[in-house]
């Protein structure tokens, strides 16, 4: 429904985030191929659909029925293990086990002598496989099927030299790899040139085309000091504290059991969350295509429906695989924040969908640092919060969308260029920046957030989100009649919004039905917060500080 061409037409680059990657220079090299000679090309192939509903099953472990922890000699002795097409080969047979979600661990220390597919460096990469990003780098800075031991919680990776903006050649690593307890090894398979894949809820990704990620798949291998019980979650891959949670401790009683008229195939959402979401960058430039969403809007759509499905009356054994996989996503994202990651700021449709899994995991695991992520990490950015605030909108609403670039959560300052705009009339939108923000309000954010807000309301967990404007804004999107506003947008700003970009609905039947059935049901909060006056000093101060800076 949402055409990639439309979204790409709306995307603009601001500041350092989308600078000319060709101008990036790193110590130790110059560009590789500087001439204009044509390069060999790879055949274009439409790849298989990765999104076949998963049949993964996970036992429901509880305090009353906990699994036994195996003894060391009870673990299998393996010379190699494999997952998602990636194999790790040891220098000698090693005891291995699996976490509750199926990811592998080794009892270490251990030496990884080889990985398959084989990492390729420099001239080992066939010339026909080089994309335009590779050609801008020194030969010594090129890599395919890369891996990282203990990836930093930062927007820097060394997996593939085709990664825009976030590729740092100083992070390229080579075999063998010595792992000690507490270590995490993320290995990848690169996208071959010419392969076209469909990512989650998006259209197509192809190496070297537009903003596509060049990474196809990733898997995580963890090193432990001793065997773990079968209900252990994998420690967050960025968190060197290597905290281990147990699924027997999941507070499943926090999940309500509402009936659903037309739920999607839960197996599809298990598949969406089953593989590790290891992207530490932004814009999807380094997100493994077969693992995770590529766009923040689609992060929000996936995690919102994950949470809603877990609030339905499906049997516990039907939910457990999704519950475990979704909590693992939250553990990984929360681990990134704990380890110093800056978060995911409001930037068009890109910064959404990361906060909900963190809070959800925290609530279900009883981790107050995770379920109070805003209070514990006050400088962390989350798109949904940065892009919503209380204030007067030209439509009459009392909560607003704060623009394509929103308000910096860490400083409280509206970002220059495409920050707050709804306090102004469409007749004053002359330079296009406000129009772009309004387009993003309709195409790439608001409708995607509704399932997140509804799931948290059904769980009675709004207070843990700690940003009330988000919930009232989602109510505005679903309850505000924008008939007259659409006329004014067309007359005064020359904007014609298609049906799918109009208020009052989301893009998913399941979400629309759950909203209609339960948002106004007994015990739910009032739906009038979006038309009531609130303290709007945060928005006013953000705008005023931005004006002072511009002066």
pLDDT single digits (tens) 103-116? 999 999 999 999 99
Q: Is residue 489 part of a domain?
A: yes
| Cβ atoms of 471 and 370 closer than 8 Å | no
The token pair that represents 492 in the structure block: 């005064």
Q: Give CA separation, 64 vs 61, 249, 266, 295, 321, in Å.
A: 8, 10, 27, 41, 19
pLDDT single digits (tens) 297-328? 999 999 999 999 999 999 999 999 999 999 99
Question: Residue 27: pLDDT above 50?
Answer: no
The average pLDDT across 464-471 equals: 98
Among residues 247, 213, 211, 241, the alpha carbon closest in space to that of 228 is found at 247
Considering only residues 20 and 250, tell me which one the structure prediction assigns the higher pLDDT: 250
d(CA 208, CA 311): 40
The token pair that represents 524 in the structure block: 């739910």
Q: Which of 16-30, 37-51, 146-160, 333-347 has the lowest mean pLDDT?
A: 16-30
Supply the pLDDT for residue 416: 86
The average pLDDT across 343-368 equals: 98
Supply the pLDDT for residue 551: 75
Q: For residue 29, what pLDDT band results from cuts at 50, 70 and 90?
A: very low
d(CA 58, CA 44): 38
Question: Residue 505: pLDDT above 70?
Answer: yes
Supply the pLDDT for residue 43: 87
Among residues 449, 394, 426, 399, the alpha carbon closest in space to that of 497 is found at 426
The average pLDDT across 6-30 equals: 33
Q: Is residue 512 part of a domain?
A: yes
Question: Residue 270: pLDDT above 50?
Answer: yes
Q: Which of 32-36, 49-53, 415-419, 424-428 has the lowest mean pLDDT?
A: 32-36
CA 240 to chain centre: 21
Task: Name the residue range of residue 440's domain.
Answer: 388-550
Which SS3 state, helix, strand or coil, does residue 196 take? strand
Q: Give CA separation, 28 vs 125, 162, 170, 175, in Å.
A: 19, 18, 9, 21
Question: Residue 8: pLDDT above 50?
Answer: no
pLDDT single digits (tens) 220-243? 999 999 999 999 999 999 998 889
Instruction: Please give the mean pLDDT across all residues of the chain.
Output: 93
| Cβ atoms of 408 and 416 closer than 8 Å | no
The token pair that represents 161 in the structure block: 């030299």
Q: Is residue 501 part of a domain?
A: yes
The average pLDDT across 514-521 equals: 98
Helix (H) or strand (E) holding 144: strand 143-144
Q: For residue 404, what pLDDT band results from cuts at 50, 70 and 90?
A: very high
Phi, psi of 187 (to 5 degrees): -110, 150
Among residues 170, 150, 155, 151, the alpha carbon closest in space to that of 29 is found at 170
The average pLDDT across 14-25 equals: 30
Helix (H) or strand (E) holding 87: strand 86-98
CA 152 to chain centre: 17
d(CA 242, CA 248): 18
Question: Residue 331: pLDDT above 70?
Answer: yes
Please spell the DSSP secondary structure of 502-546, one letter per residue.
SSS--S-HHHHHHHHHHTTSTTSPPS-GGGS----HHHHHHHHHH
d(CA 12, CA 388): 21
Supply the pLDDT for residue 237: 98
Q: Is residue 313 part of a domain?
A: no
End-to-end CA distance of the chain: 43
d(CA 36, CA 288): 31
Question: Residue 214: pLDDT above 90?
Answer: yes
Q: Is residue 266 part of a domain?
A: no
d(CA 55, CA 322): 11
Q: Is residue 543 part of a domain?
A: yes
Supply the pLDDT for residue 205: 96
d(CA 270, CA 108): 30
The average pLDDT across 24-51 equals: 60
For residue 382, the cross-strand partners are: 344
Number of structural domains found in the chain: 1
Q: Give CA separation, 408 vs 80, 262, 436, 449, in Å.
A: 46, 38, 18, 19
Which residue bears the tokens 């260029």?
Answer: 417
Q: For residue 550, what pLDDT band results from cuts at 50, 70 and 90?
A: confident
Q: Is residue 56 part of a domain?
A: no
CA 480 to chain centre: 29
Q: For residue 38, what pLDDT band results from cuts at 50, 70 and 90?
A: low
Helices (H) and strands (E) in the chain, counts: 16, 17
Q: Is residue 416 part of a domain?
A: yes
| Percentage of the residues of the chain whose pLDDT score is greater than 70 | 93
């Amino acid at each position: 429904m949402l055409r990639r061409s439309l979204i790409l037409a709306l995307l603009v680059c601001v500041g350092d985030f989308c600078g000319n990657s060709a101008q990036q220079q790193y110590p130790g090299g110059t560009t590789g191929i500087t001439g204009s000679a044509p390069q060999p090309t790879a055949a274009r192939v439409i790849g298989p659909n990765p999104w076949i509903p998963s049949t993964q099953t996970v036992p429901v472990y509880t305090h009353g029925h906990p699994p036994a922890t195996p003894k060391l000699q009870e673990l299998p002795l393996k010379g190699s293990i494999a997952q998602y097409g990636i194999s790790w080969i040891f220098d000698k047979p090693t005891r291995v086990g699996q976490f509750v979600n199926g990811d592998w661990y080794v009892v270490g220390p251990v030496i990884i002598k080889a990985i398959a597919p084989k990492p390729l460096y420099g001239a080992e990469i066939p010339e026909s496989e080089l994309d335009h990003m590779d050609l801008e780098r020194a030969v010594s800075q090129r890599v395919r099927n890369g891996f990282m031991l203990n990836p930093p919680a930062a927007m820097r990776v060394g997996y593939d030299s085709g990664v825009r903006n976030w590729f740092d050649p100083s992070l390229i690593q080579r075999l063998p790899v010595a792992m000690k307890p507490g270590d995490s090894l993320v290995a990848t398979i690169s996208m071959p040139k010419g392969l076209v894949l469909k990512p989650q809820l998006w259209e197509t990704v192809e190496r070297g085309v537009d903003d596509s990620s060049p990474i196809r798949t990733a898997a995580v291998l963890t090193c432990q000091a001793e065997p773990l019980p079968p209900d252990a979650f994998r420690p967050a891959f960025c968190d060197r504290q290597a905290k281990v949670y147990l699924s027997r401790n999941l507070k499943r009683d926090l999940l309500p059991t509402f009936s659903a008229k037309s739920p999607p195939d839960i197996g599809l959402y298990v598949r969406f969350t089953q593989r590790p979401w290891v992207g530490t960058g932004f814009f999807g430039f380094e997100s493994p295509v077969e693992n995770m969403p590529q766009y923040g809007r689609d992060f929000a759509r996936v995690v919102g429906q994950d949470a809603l499905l877990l609030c339905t009356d499906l049997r516990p054994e039907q939910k457990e695989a999704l519950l475990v996989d979704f909590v693992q996503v939250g553990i990984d994202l929360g681990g990134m924040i704990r380890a110093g990651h800056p978060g995911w700021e409001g930037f068009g449709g890109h910064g959404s969908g990361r906060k909900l899994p963190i809070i959800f995991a925290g609530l279900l695991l009883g981790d107050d640092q995770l379920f109070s992520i805003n209070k514990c990490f006050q400088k962390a950015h989350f798109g949904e919060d940065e892009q919503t605030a209380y204030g007067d909108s030209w439509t009459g609403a009392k909560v607003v969308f704060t623009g394509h670039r929103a308000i910096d959560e860490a400083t409280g300052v509206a970002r220059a260029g495409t920050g707050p705009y709804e306090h102004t009339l469409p007749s004053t939108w002359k330079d296009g920046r406000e129009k772009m923000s309004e387009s993003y309000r309709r195409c790439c954010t608001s409708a995607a957030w509704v399932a997140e807000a509804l799931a948290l309301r059904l769980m009675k967990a709004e207070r843990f989100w700690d940003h009330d404007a988000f919930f009232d804004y989602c109510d505005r999107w679903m309850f505000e009649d924008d008939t007259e506003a659409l006329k004014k947008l067309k007359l005064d700003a020359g904007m014609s919004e298609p049906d799918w970009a109009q208020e009052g609905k989301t893009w998913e039947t399941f979400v629309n039905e759950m909203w209609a059935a339960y948002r106004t049901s007994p015990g739910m909060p009032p739906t009038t917060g979006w038309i009531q006056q609130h303290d709007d000093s945060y928005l006013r101060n953000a705008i005023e500080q931005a004006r002072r800076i511009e002066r």
